Amino acid sequence: MAERDSKSEPRATEAKEPQRHYTVGYAPNGMKGNPPPQLTLKGRWLEDLGFNTGQPVIVTVERGRLVIEAEIRI
């Protein structure tokens, strides 16, 4: 039986911090004016959630929201 105050480690689908804050920047475009917006996500927390280097992802666009899912190949 588990200790009274013990906590289980989060599963791969659970984030230790469910919300993170980033700032939309811009992608360099060789000084051609009006650079496009860019959002860069990085950190071991992505790996903890099952997003591995080189793995394809699916980005779904919703109103004011981006949903990023790991592409699972069968």
Average pLDDT over residues 44-62: 93
Higher pLDDT, 55 or 7: 55
Range of the domain at 47: 42-74
Evaluate whether residue 23 is within a structural domain: no
What is the number of structural domains in the chain? 1
Q: Could you tell me the pLDDT band of residue 43, with boundaries at 50, 70 and 90? A: very high
pLDDT in tens, 2-39: 566 655 554 556 667 788 888 999 998 888 888 899 99
Model pLDDT, residue 3: 60
Evaluate whether residue 12 is within a structural domain: no
Tokens of 53: 């280097």
Model pLDDT, residue 55: 93
Closest CA to 69 of 56, 58, 55, 53: 58
Query: Taking 70 as the threshold, does the pLDDT of residue 41 lie above it?
Result: yes
Evaluate whether residue 26 is within a structural domain: no
Evaluate whether residue 18 is within a structural domain: no
Q: Where are the beta strands (DSSP E) in the chain?
A: 25-26, 37-38, 57-62, 65-70
Residue that has been written with the tokens 């917006």 in this structure:
37
